Chains A and B, each alone.
Chain A
Amino acid sequence: MEEQEVNQSCENGRRNGEAEQEEDSALQFLDSIDSYLCLMDSLSSTLREGWLELASARHSMGISRITNVLLDLKPHSAATTIKVSSHVFESSSTEDPMVRQPHITLSKWSSFKDGKGCFGEAVAGEEEFKNKSQNPQLRHRNPSQFPEFQEAHTSSEGASLSADDEAKKERTKSLSVFGTLVSPKLRAAQHSFESVLEILVEIANKRSLLVWDALGMEDDGVPWWVLGW
């Protein structure tokens, strides 16, 4: 009798634990949906800003100066690209405990011409480069004592300045399709659409997490729709 009671209380404890776990999964899932919706809102408002700035640029520069007729159809590579890697997550499934999910990183204003390699890689955006170049330099009481350090520091500072220069060059090249002298509104539109790209990358990654969270709520195996994003 006592044994039965003990077994029953263990069973109840296990069920409570499972119910708590399910509730946690559901909350996590709802949080993911909420942040996904916030990202979509942010995307809509940033896109609206970009369109407005583009319309203002068209108004100040003239309709004929910003049309698709002027778009460059000579062979050229994209300056802003995407890196796709797979992230491994632990799964409770015994069939496949290590789950792979795609993860996207944005690479802005990178140049692969002439084997130069990637200069403008930025996940967070342009601000990272601005921070690097604006950070105060380390003070050395006697710089001559540490020539290698000074050289290394100068070269890393040089590398970040070079990345900045490269990004600036690519931006100017993008704008030059519409003429040498462009309206500040066109530059602002360029900046807005760069922000849009960053938001889109976040949305893409959030969608894959949504799928993962949804899986935590499914009891009967992988539904057909989770194979996509």
Chain B
Amino acid sequence: MASRTQIPTKNAALIAMIADEDTVTGFLLAGVGNVDVRRKTNYLIVDSKTTVKMIEDTFKEFTAKEDIAIVLISQYVANMIRFLVDSYSKPVPAILEIPSKDHPYDPARDSVLSRVKYLFSTESVARR
């Protein structure tokens, strides 16, 4: 009963990235960069000029694409579109929040750990 949704099998699926320049550059060095024939990339470099709307649109685009299996997003960027990230519930592509250079990893904001916290909360225990 772990997954009622279909889990599509994919070979050679992509890793998409929404992060700062250094993080994206590093992952591109590791060979995950992809540019299709329409010159669309599988990454978005977030800087001071990037708007929240651009991040939202890119997130929606990446999570709707069938050839993407993982979306890496810096935690501080995910916080800008927190509602959208938290309301996402498909198994694939998986959303992984990663720390960034200037914003260390905050376990309190991790979606899995916050759900675990709920599981062990007094509310949840009282309901059982």
Using a CB-CB cutoff of 8 Å, which residues 78-103 of chain B contact chain A?
Answer: 88-92, 94-96, 98-99, 101
Contact B69 A174 (CB under 8 A): no
Among the listed A78, A86, A96, A207, which residue makes an inter-chain contact with B7, where contact means beta carbons less than 8 Å apart?
A86
B-contacting 9-mer, from A2-10, A99-107, A148-156: A99-107
**Bound CA span A147–B70, Å:** 47
Assess whether B2 is interfacial by the CB under 8 Å rule.
yes
Residue of A nearest to B15 (CB): A82
Task: Chain A residues near B15: list those with CB within 8 A.
Answer: 78, 80-82, 197
How many chain B residues touch the partner (CB < 8 A)? 60
Contacts of A207 in B (CB 8 A): 94, 112
B126 — which chain A residues lie within 8 A by C-beta? Answer: none
Most B CB atoms within 10 A — which of A86, A91, A218? Answer: A86
> Which residues of the partner chain A approach B2 to less than 8 Å between Cβ atoms?
89, 91, 99-101, 208, 211-212, 215, 222, 226
- Tell me whether A28 is interfacial, beta carbon within 8 Å: no
Interface band, chain A: 35 or more
Is B58 interfacial (CB 8 A cutoff)?
Answer: no
Residue of A with least CB distance to B33: A78
- Cβ contact within 8 Å between B69 and A170: no
C-alpha spacing A220/B119, complex, angstroms? 12
- In the complex, which of the residues A84, A104, A110, A175 contacts B29, with contact meaning CB atoms closer than 8 Å? A175
Interface residue from B1, B14, B30 paired with A196 (Cβ < 8 Å): B30
* A82 and B14 form a contact (CB under 8 A): yes
Q: Which of B5, B94, B98 has the most CB of A within 10 A?
A: B94
- In the complex, which residue of chain A has the Cβ closest to the Cβ of B13? A82
Nearest CB in chain B to that of A192: its residue? B26
Interface check A76, CB cutoff 8 A: yes
Contact B39–A222 (Cβ < 8 Å): no
Instruction: Assess the A104–B70 pair: CB atoms within 8 A.
Output: yes
- In contact, B39 and A44 (Cβ under 8 angstroms): no
Residues of B within 8 A of A68 (CB): 21, 24-25, 45
B91 contacts A75, C-beta separation under 8 Å:
no
User: Known interface pairs A84-B9, A84-B10, A229-B112. Does A44 touch B29 (Cβ–Cβ under 8 Å)?
Assistant: no
Please, which residues of chain A bring their CB within 8 A of the CB of B72?
Answer: 200
Q: Determine if A228 and B11 form an interchain contact, defined as CB atoms under 8 angstroms apart.
A: no
Binding-face segment, A12-20, A47-55, A127-135, A136-144: A47-55
CA A193 to CA B26, docked complex, whole Å: 6
- Among A36, A101, A110, A210, the residue within 8 A (CB) of B3 is A101
List residues of chain B with CB under 8 Å of any chain A CB.
Answer: 1-5, 7-15, 21-37, 39, 41-42, 45, 69-70, 72, 88-92, 94-96, 98-99, 101, 104-105, 107, 110, 112-113, 115-116, 119, 127-128
* A/B interface sample: 28 pairs, CB < 8 A: A44-B99, A51-B101, A68-B25, A73-B35, A73-B39, A78-B15, A78-B31, A78-B42, A82-B10, A82-B12, A82-B15, A82-B70, A96-B1, A99-B2, A102-B3, A102-B7, A102-B94, A104-B69, A104-B70, A107-B12, A171-B31, A177-B28, A197-B32, A204-B96, A212-B2, A224-B89, A227-B3, A227-B90
